[in-house]
Structure 1
């Protein structure tokens, strides 16, 4: 309970810091926020009307407290461009972006975990070298380039093998699950390949650390083959580190899919944020940036709690005042980045 209370206090403090940072960042832009939103051809009356409409003529501390008060009540403000509530716009776009991220992460795990274990189990020098090069090349390929290649190969109309749609999302959304899911396959694969290469490297490093610790030798002494020991014992002991890596990969994909959404003309959160920035809808941008930052922080909190639940060494570290387990995680992370 003490650990949970400490993490929650840090989470709340971080949210406060992010809210102040986002609020101040948009207020220190050159010129008046209302003038920026109104555009270069706006009349003074239009600028004054916008300033009054969004409360920009009030003191900054009052604006901040009103905005935070709205956030606490689920009110993210109103878009100056569409007149719709920002929370409704974000919810509609998130129904596309988050399924895309989840599907991309599933593909990344489907690629990274087996190939990472294969890298550990490979006996031949050539096979190890091939898998090592594959991980480097896969991580170096930009998602934009892989997406273009997938369009040329598998898109309907222009691809060599026309299987999946390459542009847009069904107007009926998830009311037609088959069409909706098929429109996300190519962007999910484009993102998942890059993320899968990273998971592959971290899996190889994490399982390799377990092998260096002697757990695999003990399992083999009990009658398991080397492959059985790696898959049943090594992978299980490396699970806490891999959960952390998967969580961080999920967080990174939130920004990574923005490029892919633009390439495949998907109306997701990335397109919403880019459109609001381009159209100077700064009030909406303010709440959207805060929501993205809050999600990053929440995901970090959840990963921390899951990691602690899966790794009993962290509980023992608190009891003894030591930092057990960090050395293993740090070693795996450093090896994974190589």
Structure 2
């Protein structure tokens, strides 16, 4: 329990430091935030009224305290452009972005794990060369380019095989589950193919190292074939590394899908952030940036805990060093 409490304490401290960093970063931008949000043709009276309305005329420490108190209660503030709650807008957009990320990660794992394992298991040098080429080419293809290619191939209206929608998301969201899921297939493939190539490289490297371990040699000495030893023993030894890779890939997809969302006209968090920055809705941007960064920290915490569960050597090392669990 000491390990969990220590990691959670660091997580909370990191969140606090992150909130200060985001708050200060937007306050040290050149010019007055109210003047930037009001626009270039705004009068002095309009700027002053907006500054008072948003509380920007109060001391910075008071502004930060109010914003932090709102975060603790789930209140992310109000959008100066739409007048709607930022929390409700983030919730609606997250219902598009996170299913897209999860689907992309599933596709990446379905591509990367089997091909990475096959690249190590096979003894055919030509197949190994093919797997190596696929990993390099797949990782070098930008998601934007693969998305355009998928649109040309499979989009309704302009594709050679028009089977999937390529633009937009249903207005009623996931109430129309089939249509909503179909609208995420092409963008998920565009993101998942590139990420899958990276997972394939990491899987090949991790399993290749495990193949040289004494555990795999012992399994083969006990009667397992090389293939069985690699899949049953080597893959289990590589699991902590692969969990880290999957976690990092998931985090990278949060920012990576922003380009894909704009290409496929999806109303996700990336499109929301780009729109709010373009509209100079800096108060909304402040909460959105904090939530994205907090998600990265949370994902790191989850991966750290998963390592603890999957690799008993970490627990034994802590016991040996005198940590009280």
CA shift digits 1:168-199 (9 cap, x unpaired): 00111100111000000000000001110111
Partner of 1:133: 133
Partner of 2:252: 252
Partner of 1:331: none
TM-fit CA distance, 1:229: 1.6
Partner of 1:181: 181
Paired residue secondary structure (2:293): helix
Partner of 1:116: 116
- How many Å separate the matches in 1 of 2:279 and 2:8? 36
Partner of 1:69: 69
TM-fit CA distance, 1:215: 1.9
Partner of 1:106: 106
**Equivalent residue pairs, number:** 322
TM-fit CA distance, 1:228: 1.6
CA shift digits 1:73-118 (9 cap, x unpaired): 1110000010000000000000000000000000000000000001
- How many Å separate the matches in 2 of 1:256 and 1:288? 16
TM-score, structure 1 as length reference: 0.94
Partner of 1:16: 16
Name stretches of at least 5 consecutive residues in structure 2 with no aligned partner.
none
Question: Would you say 1:289 and 2:289 are equivalent positions?
Answer: yes
- How many Å separate the matches in 1 of 2:293 and 2:76? 14
TM-fit CA distance, 1:249: 0.6
- How many Å separate the matches in 2 of 1:14 and 1:280? 27
Between stretches 148-157 and 223-232, larger displacement belongs to 223-232
TM-fit CA distance, 1:301: 0.4
- How many Å separate the matches in 1 of 2:157 and 2:227? 45
TM-fit CA distance, 1:223: 2.0
Partner of 2:89: 89
Partner of 1:318: 318
- How many Å separate the matches in 1 of 2:172 and 2:74? 26
Partner of 1:266: 266
- How many Å separate the matches in 2 of 1:192 and 1:300? 21
- How many Å separate the matches in 2 of 1:67 and 1:39? 24
TM-score, structure 2 as length reference: 0.97
Partner of 1:161: 161
- How many Å separate the matches in 2 of 1:206 and 1:316? 22
Paired residue secondary structure (1:238): helix
Partner of 1:332: none
Paired residue secondary structure (1:170): coil
- How many Å separate the matches in 1 of 2:110 and 2:288? 31
- How many Å separate the matches in 1 of 2:131 and 2:201? 10
CA shift digits 1:297-331 (9 cap, x unpaired): 01100110011111000011112239xxxxxxxxx
Paired residue secondary structure (2:319): helix
Between stretches 236-245 and 164-173, larger displacement belongs to 236-245
Partner of 2:28: 28
CA shift digits 1:284-308 (9 cap, x unpaired): 0000000001111011001100111
CA RMSD for the aligned pairs?
A: 1.0
Partner of 1:216: 216
- How many Å separate the matches in 2 of 1:16 and 1:292? 14
- How many Å separate the matches in 2 of 1:237 and 1:291? 34
- How many Å separate the matches in 2 of 1:137 and 1:54? 50
Partner of 1:171: 171
CA shift digits 1:176-232 (9 cap, x unpaired): 111000000000000001110111011111111111112222222222222122112
- How many Å separate the matches in 2 of 1:46 and 1:4? 51
- How many Å separate the matches in 2 of 1:180 and 1:235? 35
Partner of 1:275: 275
Name stretches of at least 5 consecutive residues in structure 1 with no aligned partner.
323-338
Question: Would you say 1:55 and 2:55 are equivalent positions?
Answer: yes
Partner of 1:329: none
